[in-house]
Structure 1
Amino acid sequence: MTGQVIVVDDEAAIREAAQQWLELSGFSVQACASAAEALTLIDADFPGVVISDVRMPGTDGLQLLSRIVDCDRDLPVIMITGHGDVPVAVQAMKQGAYDFIEKPFTPDRLLDTVRRALEKRQLVIDNRALRQQFAVRDGIAAQLLGVSRAMVRLRRQVLDLAGTSVNVLIRGETGAGKERVARCLHDFSERADKPFVALNCAAIPEHLFESELFGHESGAFTGAQNKRIGRIEHADGGTLFLDEVESLPLAQQVKLLRVLQEKTLERLGSNRSIRVDLRVISAVKPDLLDEVKAGRFREDLLYRLNVATLQIPPLRERREDIALLFEHFAEDAAQRHGRSLEPLTPAELADLLGQEWPGNVRELINAAERHALGLGGSLEDDVGQSLAQQMEAFEAQCLHSALLRCRGSILKTMELLQLPRRTLNEKMQRHGLQRSSYRPAGSSDED
């Protein structure tokens, strides 16, 4: 077994002997002559254990133990006490020490205690990592709703990319949720505590683009009475989200490319270079390669923006998510408006599942809002789908509702739907429903 060990003792002979024994057994050892020196090496993420003498000049072992417990009470500290110094050992254990060793001690006694302490520390670190994974998974599942295979894949891709700083291009139809995905890339990244700055490139008049993106100095042009910080500079340290980036004027594409290459910008009316650190996430509806071929978008900028691509599936391609999303948005709207929510009738549900939703999630939110307000009427006059397609969508929703109600328990779902296991498994596979999507975080796989 290997691991990191910090040895703290003011007596060089004991400190060096302990270090030699531990290193010969494969441990990575840092020896410190004082508590102050050791404290510079310890934080809540330290993956090893600490061995400390009790009696030391200045900050003694018990004081060091107290400081370590304040930092991380689960970090094992092994105390070295003098022969017969039982009261001090008892006090150390009450204070949170993992174990104590009396002088003189043998190498075997030291190594056995260190191995046990490291095993405990590794369990703590593994459990923390699992809890963090569950928290992140549950957090993004609440932001990017859906049980479809496409949404499970999208959430995984977002989390994978959030841990990097690469520029991302998001593709998707109108209303598909491109800004929500961009926001998740930011919120689940190390830049989360820095600004997320969004700019819709199609909403800015061309003559204002340079000032909007890069800022300007006072007097840079007529009407520029005060200095203005541009969107890029404001996003320093964080994320710049450029929605409908295909609308960016060619002149500004050149300047944005320079910022991405040199990581500096100049405000309009200034010759001073300002360093910026930012991640750029862009969103488009059309294929930017077509825009490049048409001469409306620079190829070199496309490659800078498109280090990684995320494709958001349209709502019509993940029909098993429609009812879940509708219920979520309708409940939210009902709560905001102080209304009691009426459940969907079977006809309304079939109507809901049969639509094409050209406006995607944005259109669905609008329909849910109307339903919550009790405006009534059919959700869509023209269903536009065959009976077989509507039946498939309805079956997928029934399976989804049952799995949700049974919290992913196959046995309970079989009983609720009165289906044999093989039939249930086949239907779940056909509709892309995965049991793990419905299981509570941390639950076992047993029904």
Structure 2
Amino acid sequence: MSINRILVADDEESMRWVLSKALRKKGFSVDLARDGDEALRLIQTHSYDMAILDIKMPGLTGLELLDRVRELKSDLLVVIMTAEASMKNAVEAMKRGAYDYITKPFDLDVIDAIVEKVNRAQEMTSQVTVLKEELKDRYQLEKTIIGNSAAMREVYKTIGKVAPSDVTVLIQGESGTGKELIARAIHFNSRRLGKPFIALNCAAIPKELLESELFGFEKGAFTGAVERKLGKFEQANGGTIFLDEIGDMPLDLQAKILRVLQEKEVTRTGGSQNIAVDVRIVAATNQDLEEKVRQKEFREDLFYRLNVVPIQLVPLRERKEDIPPLVEYFLQKACAELETPRKQCAPDAFRLLSDHNWPGNVRELENTMKRAVILSSDLLLTASDFPGLRRQKGSGERAANEELSLEGIVDIKLRSCFSNMDKMESGDVHTMVLEQVERPLIRFVLEKTRGNQVRAADILGINRNTLRKKIQELGIEVKKD
């Protein structure tokens, strides 16, 4: 079977026209729907091989229509379109059974690639995997995993696809890229939600103690074992166990992990009873496990049992478009945790942070923002509040010579806001921009008036008492000649 007839549902006439013209030119039969309700009627009365649905439409939304499609025609392939790229939308669409997820605007070659991929897959199998449509609960991932780069969107789609099943997942990436967050995202979007999520760093525990941590021990098993202790696998029963830095696990212990995967049972140290466990294993490493296999430092059979679904996290230096929203998130998180007034980053600080290569990845960025919040008494963080960060060649002189402009501040803030629009409440952009612009504006006018508050208030068009209040609230130092 190959793709022949396609339904396109979008409330934008221009989008319907462009897609229908392009698809018909490729030889496909195309029907159009202006909203979700019309699309549902067409699906109920016609036979389609694929449906391309906008996520926001009058009547039934794309996701609601996707749910109905899964009930009516589970073999219909659905591609979700959206103008708002967000992790929440991507994960939700893939979990509900979407075949793919694309962000507007997109090149028409993307649609061609999807159709080609479908045709190749259907030549090998007559059935297309349909993900579970019923969700028990949701963990608000967009609050903890930040990024809308192409690389991160692929990760979100994989999470949505793999979470409902129990297959093992191997997350690979440099230290600090957020491997545990991805593991938690998989767990919180699975049927095991509400059951334990147990994390264990295999590199942080001495090798001689790692086995008893994983499998537990019986009373008297060794000196100091004064009572029975359950291991991590038993603690995680019914849920998920996250084995971080599994590349550091000793070979003899790797064999026992393989047995758990195969037999689904453990034996406590010093015990003889086999204990059944129902645990999903998610592993992570910052090492090249394939190379370790070649070097006989990691079991080949265990590697293939773990690497059923690989997820590769790219380093922060390769997705620098995610730095501005990450900076905003970690800055406000640090201010909330440290109970300090809300701070903002100036354009020169954003440039410096974006130029840095971040060898410690997201973890290093988070710690850098927290340190700046602690050490700076200023409400506007500038490049001088981030000493020691390396700039790209030639950028240091540029950043030092460029003046802090109101236009630059607004531009940086709006770009950051629009990249995270799905997380913002109504009116938040106005408030956030005003907070960032107000302080440099007042300070600039005071500098030009040489500290004359009466003249500054007149220029600003505000009452002198209001200006005094603002100076105090914003912590502005008034210098008089």
Q: TM-score, with normalisation over the residues of structure 2?
A: 0.54
- Residue from 400, 405, 411 that aligns with 2:415: 400
Q: Which residue of 1 aligns with 2:358?
A: 357
Contact 1:327–1:368 (CA under 8 A) maintained in structure 2:
no
What is the letter of the counterpart of residue 250 of structure 1? L
Q: Which residue of 2 aligns with 1:148?
A: 149
Q: Tell me the secondary structure at the aligned position of residue 311 of structure 2.
A: strand
Deviation at 1:209, TM superposition (A): 1.8
Contact 1:200–1:244 (CA under 8 A) maintained in structure 2:
yes
The CA deviation string for residues 213-235 of structure 1, in whole angstroms up to 9 with x for no partner, is 11111111222110110111111
1:2-401 aligned at under 5 Å gives the runs 126=68, 133=92, 139-375=140-376, 377-381=384-388, 383-386=390-393, 400-401=415-416
Deviation at 1:202, TM superposition (A): 0.6
Deviation at 1:199, TM superposition (A): 0.6
Contact 2:216–2:230 (CA under 8 A) maintained in structure 1:
yes
Q: 1:161 to 1:223 in 2, by over 3 A?
A: same
What is the letter of the counterpart of residue 403 of structure 1? F
CA distance in 2, matches of 1:148, 1:223: 51
CA distance in 2, matches of 1:243, 1:228: 21
What is the letter of the counterpart of residue 154 of structure 2? R
CA distance in 1, matches of 2:174, 2:183: 14
Q: Which residue of 2 aligns with 1:6?
A: none
What is the letter of the counterpart of residue 355 of structure 2? G
Greater mean alpha carbon deviation, residues 160-169 or residues 364-373: 364-373
What is the letter of the counterpart of residue 416 of structure 2? S
Contact 1:264–1:273 (CA under 8 A) maintained in structure 2:
yes
Contact 1:143–1:184 (CA under 8 A) maintained in structure 2:
no
Q: Tell me the secondary structure at the aligned position of residue 169 of structure 1.
A: strand
Q: Which residue of 2 aligns with 1:411?
A: none
Q: 1:185 to 1:301 in 2, by over 3 A?
A: same
CA distance in 2, matches of 1:138, 1:286: 29
Q: 1:127 to 1:299 in 2, by over 3 A?
A: closer
CA distance in 2, matches of 1:402, 1:141: 14
What is the letter of the counterpart of residue 139 of structure 1? Q
Deviation at 1:402, TM superposition (A): 6.4
Q: 1:319 to 1:398 in 2, by over 3 A?
A: farther
Contact 2:215–2:267 (CA under 8 A) maintained in structure 1:
yes
Contact 2:215–2:268 (CA under 8 A) maintained in structure 1:
yes
CA distance in 2, matches of 1:271, 1:330: 52
What is the letter of the counterpart of residue 148 of structure 1? S
Q: Which residue of 1 aligns with 2:431?
A: none
Deviation at 1:336, TM superposition (A): 1.8
What is the letter of the counterpart of residue 327 of structure 1? E
Contact 1:144–1:151 (CA under 8 A) maintained in structure 2:
no
What is the letter of the counterpart of residue 319 of structure 1? K
CA distance in 2, matches of 1:345, 1:199: 39
Q: 1:138 to 1:263 in 2, by over 3 A?
A: closer
Q: 1:138 to 1:281 in 2, by over 3 A?
A: closer
CA distance in 2, matches of 1:123, 1:321: 31
Q: Tell me the secondary structure at the aligned position of residue 202 of structure 1.
A: coil
The CA deviation string for residues 146-196 of structure 1, in whole angstroms up to 9 with x for no partner, is 121111111111111111110000001111100111111101110111111
Deviation at 1:210, TM superposition (A): 1.7
Deviation at 1:371, TM superposition (A): 2.5
Q: Which has the larger radius of gyration?
A: 1
Q: 1:238 to 1:245 in 2, by over 3 A?
A: same
Contact 2:198–2:240 (CA under 8 A) maintained in structure 1:
yes
What is the letter of the counterpart of residue 212 of structure 1? E
Q: Tell me the secondary structure at the aligned position of residue 271 of structure 2.
A: coil
CA distance in 2, matches of 1:319, 1:284: 22
CA distance in 2, matches of 1:137, 1:156: 16
The CA deviation string for residues 60-119 of structure 1, in whole angstroms up to 9 with x for no partner, is xxxxxxxxxxxxxxxxxxxxxxxxxxxxxxxxxxxxxxxxxxxxxxxxxxxxxxxxxxxx
CA distance in 1, matches of 2:65, 2:351: 50
Contact 1:351–1:378 (CA under 8 A) maintained in structure 2:
no
The CA deviation string for residues 25-57 of structure 1, in whole angstroms up to 9 with x for no partner, is xxxxxxxxxxxxxxxxxxxxxxxxxxxxxxxxx
Aligned-pair RMSD on alpha carbons? 3.3
CA distance in 2, matches of 1:168, 1:148: 22
Deviation at 1:373, TM superposition (A): 2.2
Q: 1:221 to 1:379 in 2, by over 3 A?
A: same
Q: Tell me the secondary structure at the aligned position of residue 370 of structure 1.
A: helix
Q: Tell me the secondary structure at the aligned position of residue 203 of structure 1.
A: coil
What is the letter of the counterpart of residue 415 of structure 2? H
What is the letter of the counterpart of residue 418 of structure 2? L
Count of aligned residue pairs for this structure pair: 285
CA distance in 2, matches of 1:311, 1:304: 17
